Amino acid sequence: MNLGDDLYKEIILDNYKAKKYRRRMDDADISREGANPSCGDDIELFVRLNGDRIEEVTYDGAGCSICLASANMLCTALTGRTLGEARALFDQVRSMLTDADVPDFPEYAADLEAMQGVKAFPVRVKCAMLAWSTLKQVVDEHSLSAG
């Protein structure tokens, strides 16, 4: 095993192949598209809210394994969580991928630690971040409209 092969940990591959959250949602409160123009990752995130709580979150689109695995981890972690928790997790994921921070994820988001290896490949950080950046926009937008 070398560095590149090692990135493709079983957790990432399992999340990439998982189909549970990979679908469009007809009754979403908010949906948002996100794209990485340089590499062609292109996803859409769907969120259904109950007050401040994410009742359901799904994604659809095309992307590499890192991008889609990250989107699946996002959905797994944030289903049933509050927007505040979503924001906090976004901050942690970003600092794990872009700073030297060692993550300390809550139990429900433990799979995300498998993404640490992406940091060694700067061009792939955007792939891992796409779903999270898109989610951040959804959360910010909602907070604004909710006043």
Partner 1 sequence: MSPARTLPLDVSKLRTEFPVLSRAMRGKRLAYLDSGATSLKPRSVLEAERAYYEQLSSNIHRGVYEFSERATILYDEARTKAAGLINAAAAREVIFTRGTTESINLVGYSWGRKFLKPGDEILTSEFEHHSNIVVWQEVAKATGAVLRFFPLLPHAEGLDPEQLETAFSERTRIVAITGMSNVTGYKPPLRRIAELAHERGAVVLVDGAQMACHEPVDVQALDIDFLAFSAHKMCGPTGIGVLYGRESLLEAMDPFLYGGDMIERVWKDRSTYAQLPEKFEAGTPHIAGAIGFGAACDFVQGVGLEAIAAHERELLDYCLARTRARDDITVYGGINTDDRGGIFSFNFADVHAHDVGMILDSHGVAVRAGFHCAQPLMRVFGVAGTTRASFYMYTDRSDIDALFDGLDAVRKIFL
Rounded CA gap, 9 and 21, in Å?
Answer: 20
Chosen residue from 32, 53, 65, 82 binding partner 1 by CB under 8 A: 65
Among 14, 20, 23, 62, binds partner 1 (CB under 8 A): 62
Burial annotation 21-41 (CB, 10 A radius, 16+ → b, else e): bbeebeebebbbebbbeeeeb
For partner 1, the binding residue among 39, 76, 101, 133 (CB under 8 A) is 39
Quote the crossing angle between the two packed helices 83-98 and 65-78, to the nearest 10°: 150
State in angstroms the smallest separation of the CB of 45 from partner 1.
Answer: 18
* 128 belongs to the binding site for partner 1 (CB under 8 A): no
Give the shortest CB-40-to-partner 1 separation in angstroms.
5
CA dist 77 and 108 (Å) reads 6
Q: Which residues, including other chains, have CB under 8 Å from residue 52's CB and lie 6 or more apart?
A: 82, 83, 84
Q: Does 42 bind partner 1 (CB under 8 A)?
A: yes
Residue 46: both structure tokens together:
């769907």
Binding partner 1 (rule: CB under 8 A), the pick from 28, 124, 135, 139 is 124
| Interaction of residue 5 with partner 1, rule CB under 8 A | yes
Binding site for partner 1 (CB under 8 A): 2-5, 7-8, 13, 38-42, 62-66, 121, 124, 127
